[in-house]
Amino acid sequence: MRISINTPLLLGLGLSLAACAETPYEPIVDGQVSRNYHADLNACRQISTQKQSTGNGATAGAVIGGVIGGLEDESVGGAVVGAAVGGLIGSAEENAEIDDARDRIVFNCMRGRGHNVVG
């Protein structure tokens, strides 16, 4: 019984690391930056942290990965490896979606505070 996990495992680990390397969103402002800009940006970033992960991405990824791994290898070991890799990929994907949602929150918050944010 040989389990071929190199490519999926490396892909999952790479996605996980990429999700952790996210830098804070820095809005692009058209025109002058007001003196309240940095205080408003910090407040908006704090508000965006209210958007939390549900963990559903990791769960769904583990289930799908377990099924695929079990079908491909036809063993419990294949299902376990598939579940682990699927969980990593699902978690990384959900984290990327959370980061995008937080960026949109900061964007809208800064516009709401009167900053001419364009991107």
Please check whether residue 4 lies inside any domain of the structure.
no
Would you list the DSSP string of 17-63? HHHHTPPPP---BSSPPPTTHHHHHHHHHHHHTT----SHHHHHHHH
Please check whether residue 39 lies inside any domain of the structure.
no
Task: Determine the structural domain holding residue 66 and report its residue range.
Answer: 53-112
Beta-carbon contacts of 13 under 8 Å, excluding residues fewer than 6 positions away, are 88
Please check whether residue 71 lies inside any domain of the structure.
yes
> Are 86 and 65 contacting, i.e. CB atoms less than 8 angstroms apart?
yes
More confident residue, 7 or 25: 25
Q: Give tens-digit pLDDT for 34-89.
A: 999 999 999 999 999 998 766 666 677 766 776 666 666 666 777 777 777 777 77
Please check whether residue 58 lies inside any domain of the structure.
yes
Q: Locate tokens 């958007």: which residue? A: 51
Structure tokens given for 85: 């890799």
Does this model's pTM top 0.75? no
> What pLDDT score does 1 carry?
46
> What pLDDT score does 71 carry?
63
Please check whether residue 76 lies inside any domain of the structure.
yes
Please check whether residue 106 lies inside any domain of the structure.
yes
Number of domains in the chain: 1
Please check whether residue 16 lies inside any domain of the structure.
no
Please check whether residue 32 lies inside any domain of the structure.
no
